[in-house]
Amino acid sequence: MRFKVAISVSVLILVLPSASVIAAEDLEHGRRIFRACASCHPIETTHSAFGPSLKDIVGRRVAAASDYSYSPAMQAAGDKGLVWDEAALAEFLVNPQAKMPGNKMRFWGLWKSQVDDVVAFMKTFSANQ
Ligand code: HEC
């Protein structure tokens, strides 16, 4: 009995610190991936640039940056009420043209393994999440 308790305590000690390190690494990975997006997308301000601002993007309606002129394809998706939840963002970022044919984001897409981390990073700039 005493032996069992000792084992579970040491398992906790081993598992807890590494779990928090992994979470920190994911955000750091997301931040590095976002550098590729940042050349077109501001995320710290709501002012759009070559691409629309991605501040508050997680949970935001598609094509909702009021100072940005979207393509008809993206505008139409927004008018239909599509919201950028995590699933929609993941699908779009893996293959932007497949998710929304005709949109004007010229980007090759991300690997599935990069998407979760970049979405987690964008979430830290999204107040409505
Ligand atoms: C070469 C410039 C460029 C790069 C790089 C780029 N984007 Fe875009 N992105 C755009 C443009 C332009 C649009 C607007 C598309 C339209 O109106 O059809 C857009 C639209 C979007 C939207 C929809 C925004 C809204 O308001 O509905 C999201 C989300 C998005 N991009 C995420 C990303 C992410 C995440 C990355 C990096 C992994 C990225 N983009 C990289 C140019 C870019």
Upper half-sphere CA count for residue 56 (Cβ side, 13 Å): 12
Q: Read off the amino acid at residue 106.
A: R
pLDDT digits (tens, 9 = 90+) for 119-128: 999 999 998 6
pLDDT digits (tens, 9 = 90+) for 35-64: 999 999 999 999 999 999 999 999 999 999
| Distance from the alpha carbon of residue 105 to the mean position of ligand 1, in angstroms | 5
Q: How many other CB atoms are there within 10 angstroms of residue 122's CB atom?
A: 24
Averaged pLDDT for residues 98-120: 94
Ligand 1 centroid, distance to 62 Cα (angstroms): 11
Q: Label residue 1 exposed, middle or buried (CB < 10 Å: 0-12, 13-18, 19+).
A: exposed
**pLDDT on residue 117:** 95
Using an 8 Å Cβ cutoff, are 59 and 129 in contact? Answer: yes
Residue 27 has a pLDDT of 93
Is residue 41 within 6 Å of ligand 1 at its C-beta?
yes
Q: What is the DSSP letter of 28?
A: H
So what CATH class is 2-123?
Answer: mainly alpha
